[in-house]
Chain A
Amino acid sequence: AQRVTQPEKLLSVFKGAPVELKCNYSYSGSPELFWYVQYSRQRLQLLLRHISRESIKGFTADLNKGETSFHLKKPFAQEEDSAMYYCALSGPTGANSKLTFGKGITLSVRP
Chain B
Amino acid sequence: GAGVSQTPSNKVTEKGKYVELRCDPISGHTALYWYRQSLGQGPEFLIYFQGTGAADDSGLPNDRFFAVRPEGSVSTLKIQRTERGDSAVYLCASSLNSGANVLTFGAGSRLTVL
Give the residue name and chain of the B residue nearest to A90 (CB).
B101
What 1/0 flags go to B87-105 for Cβ under 8 Å of A? 0000101000011111111
Tell me, in angstroms, the Cα distance from A85 to B98 when the chains sit together.
23
Given A44-B91, A99-B33, A103-B40, does the pair A94, B99 have CB atoms closer than 8 Å? yes
Given A44-B91, A93-B99, A93-B100, does the pair A98, B56 have CB atoms closer than 8 Å? yes
Q: Are A86 and B99 in contact (CB under 8 A)?
A: no
**Which of A94, A99, A103 is within 8 Å of B103, CB to CB?**
A99
Bin chain B's interface residue count.
Answer: 20 to 34
- Which of B14-22, B42-50, B65-73, B77-85 lies at the binding interface? B42-50
Give the residues in chain A near B33, CB-CB below 8 Å. 98-99
Tell me whether A43 is interfacial, beta carbon within 8 Å: yes
* Count of A-B residue pairs with CB < 8 Å: 61
Q: Are B105 and A44 in contact (CB under 8 A)?
A: yes
What 1/0 flags go to A3-25 for Cβ under 8 Å of B? 01010010000000000000000
Give the residue name and chain of the A residue nearest to B6 (CB).
A43
Q: Are A98 and B59 in contact (CB under 8 A)?
A: yes
Tell me whether A101 is interfacial, beta carbon within 8 Å: yes
Q: Are A43 and B45 in contact (CB under 8 A)?
A: no
Tell me whether A45 is interfacial, beta carbon within 8 Å: yes
Give the residues in chain A near B56, CB-CB below 8 Å. 96, 98
Tell me, in angstroms, the Cα distance from A95 to B55 when the chains sit together.
12
Give the residues in chain B near A43, CB-CB below 8 Å. 3, 105-108
Tell me whether A100 is interfacial, beta carbon within 8 Å: yes
Tell me whether B41 is interfacial, beta carbon within 8 Å: yes
Tell me, in angstroms, the Cα distance from A100 to B48 when the chains sit together.
12
Given A93-B101, A102-B42, A103-B40; 7 other pairs, CB 8 A cutoff: A43-B108, A46-B102, A90-B101, A95-B99, A97-B99, A99-B33, A104-B42
20 pairs from A and B in contact (CB 8 Å cutoff): A9-B40, A34-B101, A34-B102, A43-B105, A44-B91, A44-B105, A49-B102, A91-B101, A93-B100, A96-B50, A96-B56, A96-B99, A97-B98, A97-B101, A98-B45, A98-B48, A98-B59, A101-B42, A101-B43, A103-B40
